[in-house]
Structures are given as C-alpha cells and as structure tokens.
Amino acid sequence: MDTWSSDIVFPSTDDFLQAFGLEPIESDRDSAYCRYVKPSSDGNTEIDFSFNAAARSFQAVLRCGGNEIAAICSEKVKFIEIRHDKTMSGLHVVFDIDGVLSEALIALEPTLHCKWWLLSD
C-alpha cells in the first residue's frame, strides 16, 4: 500500500503485479496516477481503470465487444484496497463525499464486473 499527501491509501504497482499480474499501461509518479486494463479470459470484455492520488479520483470503464457498457468516475476517494474473498478478487474503493460514503466494487477475477452504491443516513 502507498499513501499520498492527501492521505489517500491505495495499492502500489507491486501490489497489482502480485495480486493480478497487472502492470500499469500509463503512470505518473508525480501525481500517483496509474491506469490498468484487465481483459476477460475470452478477450471479449475488458475493464479499464485508473486512479490519481493527487486529484483523489478513481475511474473505471467496462467494455464488451469494444462498446462501453458501464462507467464509474468520482473524486474524493478515501481509499482503494485489493479484496479477495471466496466469490471474487478485485478492488474495493471508498469515497467520502461531504460525509456521505459511496463505494465501488470492481471484480477482476473470475469474471469482470463493477458495482457502485451510495449510503446515507
């Protein structure tokens, strides 16, 4: 895990390499920007995700057959963590938008999918 001056906590490039065999296709150390693309096993679907610690932002686009079918994009990231459980492996992203928590789950294995939700009192 790495941290940035804005106190966002996120996986390092080594963490992504160890967990998923992924290396960034784009990166910038000065802003702690990294972009990754993970194709499905059949090559028909892919998820393209990136984060920028300086801007505290996270973006993910799910494509099927080259067509965008879902997108998540938000600022105010609190943390990004790699998650493994018995049903999936992927990323758990938590946003703190003016005291309201929003979360995204980006599944990278065994199948690609994404979910995003907002919880408030």
Task: Encode pLDDT of 26-80 as tens digits.
Answer: 999 888 899 999 999 898 999 999 999 889 999 999 999 999 999 999 999 999 9
pTM: 0.89
The dihedral built from the CA positions of residue 10, 13, 17 and 21, taken in this order, carries a sign that is: positive
| Distance of alpha carbon 51 from alpha carbon 58, whole angstroms | 4
Given a contact cutoff of 8 angstroms between Cβ atoms, the answer to whether 62 and 39 are in contact is no
Whether residue 12 is predicted with pLDDT greater than 80 in this model: the reply is: yes
The three-state secondary structure class of 109 is strand
Whether residue 107 is predicted with pLDDT greater than 70 in this model: the reply is: yes
Checking phi first, is residue 21 left (phi over 0); if not, alpha (psi -120 to 50) or beta?
left
